[in-house]
């Protein structure tokens, strides 16, 4: 496989592939970026793709009635799981993978997670095909309201917060998700801060403080998460299953 073709699903304009898109291309992937929110279609199957990346968005994982393409994304995730197509979900994408395979997503009862937070790797991550190369001490940019509150049957929890909130999981042998945003630097998160500003102010949250944390940490975040994308593309090339 000289240049694996990766389907990337973008859910809204303010949540582009960012660094992840840049790193996928640099690692040798051919990106097929689809924007169903803007009228673009999704493929009927993954027959012409070697991998799938599902990006984040402000809608909920169960908001199919308002965002009809979410049903199709979940169908593609189930196809990927059945046919061992490497798949990686980011934030909303992570939540869609969970719901597609039988898990549950809900608003975090402890409130919104914002800023640059520690990743709480579990021992299982060190043996994982995707996360093994990056499972040392790490921080990541978080910007979310919903979380996975119940994993699908047979899923493996790979990282969690000190309070037990899911940060990363392997939902099926070749389907992974992360609650954090490896794709987002200050340019992307500045737009989210502007969008969240009024609601956050009412809750006593200064979103621009969290934006500064992300901007200050950009060199660290890029160095930490680029190898994860390289690991994903390596798996796409070989279509090798994860450690069960």
CB 146 within 8 A of CB 105: yes
The model carries a pTM of: 0.94
What's the mean pLDDT in 6-18?
Answer: 98
Q: Which two tokens stand for residue 131?
A: 């996360």
Structure confidence by residue, pLDDT tens digits, 167-216: 999 999 999 999 999 999 999 999 998 877 656 555 666 888 888 999 99
Structure confidence by residue, pLDDT tens digits, 111-156: 888 889 999 999 999 999 999 999 999 999 999 989 999 999 999 9
Q: Which two tokens stand for residue 29?
A: 């992937």
Whole-number pLDDT of residue 197? 67
Percentage, residues of the chain above pLDDT 70: 94
Q: Which two tokens stand for residue 156?
A: 């493996």
| 4: Cα separation from own chain's centroid | 20
23 pLDDT above the threshold of 50: yes
CB 139 within 8 A of CB 159: no
Whole-number pLDDT of residue 240? 42
d(CA 90, CA 57): 9
CA distances from 53 to 48, 111, 117, 143, 196 (A): 14, 27, 23, 18, 25
CA distances from 82 to 75, 94, 114, 175, 241 (A): 11, 17, 34, 10, 12
Q: Which residues are annotated as catalytic? A: 91, 181, 183
d(CA 120, CA 110): 17
Which run of H or of E encompasses 98? helix 92-100
Residue with tokens 């979410």: 70
> C-alpha angle with apex 232: 134 to 121, nearest 5 degrees?
30
Which domains, from first to last, does the chain contain?
Answer: 5-238 (3.40.50.880)
Whole-number pLDDT of residue 198? 59
């Amino acid at each position: 496989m000289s240049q694996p073709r990766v389907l990337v699903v973008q859910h809204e304009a303010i949540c582009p592939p960012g660094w992840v898109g840049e790193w996928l291309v640099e690692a040798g992937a051919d990106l097929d970026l689809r924007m169903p929110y803007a009228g673009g279609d999704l493929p009927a199957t993954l027959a012409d793709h070697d991998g799938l990346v599902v990006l984040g968005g402000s809608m909920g994982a169960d908001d199919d009635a308002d965002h009809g393409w979410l049903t199709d994304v979940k169908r593609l995730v189930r196809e990927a799981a059945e046919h061992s197509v490497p798949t990686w979900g980011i934030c909303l994408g992570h939540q869609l993978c969970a719901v597609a395979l039988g898990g549950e997503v809900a608003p975090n009862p402890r409130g919104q997670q914002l800023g640059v937070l520690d990743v709480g790797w579990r021992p299982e991550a060190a043996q994982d095909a995707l996360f093994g190369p990056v499972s040392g001490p790490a921080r990541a940019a978080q910007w979310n309201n919903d979380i996975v509150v119940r994993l699908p049957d047979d899923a493996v929890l790979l990282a969690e917060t000190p309070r037990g909130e899911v940060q990363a999981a392997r939902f099926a042998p070749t389907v992974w998700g992360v609650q954090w945003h490896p794709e987002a630097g200050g340019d992307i998160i500045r737009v989210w801060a502007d969008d969240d500003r009024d609601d956050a102010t009412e809750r006593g949250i200064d979103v621009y403080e969290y934006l500064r944390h992300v901007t200050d940490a950009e060199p660290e975040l890029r160095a930490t998460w680029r190898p994860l994308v390289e690991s994903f593309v390596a798996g796409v090339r070989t279509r090798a299953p994860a450690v069960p």
